[in-house]
Amino acid sequence: MHDVVFTLYLFMWFMLVGLVILFIMSGLDDLFFDIYYWIRLPYQVWKKRFYRPLTYEQLLHAPEKAIAVLIPCWHEANVIGNMLRHNVSSIDYKNYIIFVGVYPNDPMTIAEVEAVARHDKHVHCVIGHTPGPTNKAANLNQLYQAAKTFEVEREATFEIIVFHDSEDVIHALSLKLYNHLIPRKDMIQLPVFPLDVPHRNFTHWLYADEFSESHTKNIIVREALKLHVPSAGVGTAFSRRAINALANEAHGNPFEENSLTEDYRTSFRIRACGFKAIFLTQYVLRTKWVEQGLFKKKYIKKTVKEYVATRAMFPQNYFQAVRQKSRWIIGIVFQEWEHTPWPKSWRLRYSLVHDRKAFITHFINGTAYFLLIFWFIYELATASNPNYPALQEQFNMHPWVWRLILLGTFMMSMRLLQRIIATYRVYGRVAASLTLVRACYGNVLNLHALIRAYRLYFLSVNRGKKAKPVAWDKTDHQFPGRHILVPYKRRLGDLLLEDGLIKESELHEALIEQKKKGERLGDVLIRLRMITEHELFPWLGQQYALQLFPKSQLETTQEKCKVCMSKKHMRWLASVGLFPITFDALTKNLTLGLEDPTNEIVIATALKFFNAYKVNFVLIDPSH
């Protein structure tokens, strides 16, 4: 027994030494990114003083190029309909077509896409010839060919190609930004940030931490150093000349089908061909409702800076996340290592080393927890038995190892600090305060994903440069429900313009004023005296699909509701600025009146507070 324990002791000691050395080697790379970012930041702030910021007026005046948005789908019937309806109603652009790629053996997804396409000219359903699933790259190639056919039929040319997924919330101004910068740039990647969800959803928030750090720091450094700027697969726009160049290299199909991460491969090929790729960080001012107060909650309007970014729901289940992350590891690390030779450019070589080191770093971070647990149990179990050597004896004989551990601890602390700062930058204090706990959870999840990636890749018979196209190892997607996202709606300006209440020149003036100050468009129109409050509210009701309720009748309805609603419910409604209109305890139907339909926080809070009831909302009309 003594020999077994001593052998295990030595094995775990050498494991500890090896992991510390590997951790520091990997950490030096990350530390370089951190130092470069913070040294460069003051210079960038100073430099921006000499540049005029991009304005909405500039975006509005740029002639609209034709844009093709490619969305590959396989078994997305539960999300694609709502995704399309929401995005076509909110995108601030006219000259675009969304091509949705579906498979003939996926009738439910086909039905959802065609239902939207029948009512909206911006949506085009593309049914492939091959039963699914093939893979995402094959689907994108199918969409690219469909776009070319569309060009011939309509005598048009798509100058910009955009990647999106079926769960994306596309920012209203994203297409205008692509239109403004292409063809001066050949690839534009916008930030991607997971949507805010309850903080108990650790898996989803793990993605939020990772994307916050990557898309507010790491990729900015990559661009500054002229390294490879990777595509995130969504919120990525390409110039037509870049996509055509890739297509000419590959006999007509621009996207290589032997990769599970075709977005990464495409962006790398574009960079290797010498095209210009950028990561674009752009803000707009927006008036939004925010919650204040720790115990007594209240809601106020506040003008904030908002990233022009793609938002999405990410996996909220541990095993779905493992599945997705293992696919990313297989594609970016193993398949790229196999199919993409090391380039001559040192910048591209460094980019590949930085990305491919995931094949060992996830192992280091995850295994460190098991080592920590082992040494804790070992020290506890052998504390009273002098026959067994202590860990401190090894540190006494090899003090350099202890110094390396201290250095590694410092570097780990810096890593965690950077992630906390990044999460705070995007999501605020509460989300940032939970980053440390999620980091531990994330290391275990990433280790599991790495093990799965090793197993799937190295035990697969479908390998080699002449291998068949890899299958689509997709995860189930979710599109945010009404408790997270305001339901899709027509733009207020379009409604007022169609009815003749305002002129196009007036709308143009109001939109420019709105983007300057971040106000609501309705407030701007009233302030500029283009419409009155009496004229605005019927159209707000139509925009948000809410019936109007006269303010003069509120006192009567509240008296009736007091009889059947609890005092607790009445007090809560008064505290958040909602008004009870009707309440039926038998059918559990509750109608609430609200004065501002843009207050997403109050709507979401009310749905959560009255989760046992079927809640409907009406809009309080102050003019009656």
pLDDT tens, position by position, 406-420: 999 999 999 999 999
What pLDDT score does 24 carry?
A: 94
Q: Does residue 447 share a domain with residue 321?
A: yes
Token pair listed for 207: 């993605």
Q: For tokens 């939970």, name the residue.
A: 434
Helical ranges in 518-566 per DSSP H: 521-527, 533-543, 554-564
Last residue of a domain, one of 443, 465, 488: 488
Domain that residue 566 falls in: 546-624
Q: Looking at the 3D structure of the chain, how many domains does it have? A: 3
Which of 46-60, 331-345, 495-509, 531-545 has maximum average pLDDT? 331-345
CATH number at residue 564: 3.30.300
Q: Does residue 561 share a domain with residue 526?
A: no
Q: Global pTM?
A: 0.81
Q: Does residue 377 share a domain with residue 414?
A: yes
Distance CA 280, CA 219 (A): 10
Q: Does residue 559 share a domain with residue 412?
A: no
Q: Does residue 464 share a domain with residue 555?
A: no
Strands, E assignment, 38-131? 67-72, 96-102, 123-127
Q: Does residue 534 share a domain with residue 558?
A: no
What pLDDT score does 118 carry?
A: 93
Last residue of a domain, one of 512, 543, 574: 543
Q: Is 4 exposed, middle or buried (0-12, 13-18, 19+ CB in 10 A)?
A: exposed
Distance CA 166, CA 245 (A): 27
Q: Does residue 526 share a domain with residue 551?
A: no
Q: Does residue 508 share a domain with residue 419?
A: no
Q: Does residue 560 share a domain with residue 527?
A: no
CATH number at residue 337: 3.90.550.10
Element containing residue 224 per DSSP (H, E): helix 219-224
Contacts of 508 (CB under 8 A, 6+ apart): 60
Q: What confidence tier does 478 reach under pLDDT thresholds 50, 70, 90?
A: low
Which of 31-40, 42-51, 451-460, 568-577 has maximum average pLDDT? 31-40
Q: Does residue 558 share a domain with residue 533?
A: no
Q: Does residue 504 share a domain with residue 479?
A: no
Q: Does residue 580 share a domain with residue 463?
A: no
